Structure 1
Amino acid sequence: MHQFTLRLAATSLFAFASLTACSDDAAEGGDEQGTEETDAGTETDAGTETDSDVGTETDAGTETDSDVGTETDSETDAGTETDTGNADDLEIIGEYIDEWGDMHVITAEQWENAAGTFLIDHWDNEATYLVAQNDAQNEYFPELWSRFDWTWADDALYYCQTVYDGATIDDAVAGSADADDLAAGCAGFSWTSLEQQ
Structure 2
Amino acid sequence: MSNLSPASLIQSHAQVLLFPKGGKPSLVPNEWQVWDAQEQGKLPDLENSKNKVLVPFTWWCAQMDSSQNEADLLAKAKNGQIGVWFAADDDILKHEELINAGKQYWPLVAAYFPLFRDGRSFSTAALLRDRLGWDKEIRMIGDVLIDQLLQGARVGFDSFALRHDQNLDVALKQFDLFTVTTQNSWRGKRSLLATS
Which band: TM-score by shorter chain? under 0.3
TM-score of the superposition, structure 1-length normalised?
0.26
TM-score of the superposition, structure 2-length normalised?
0.26
More helix by share: 1
More strand by share: 1
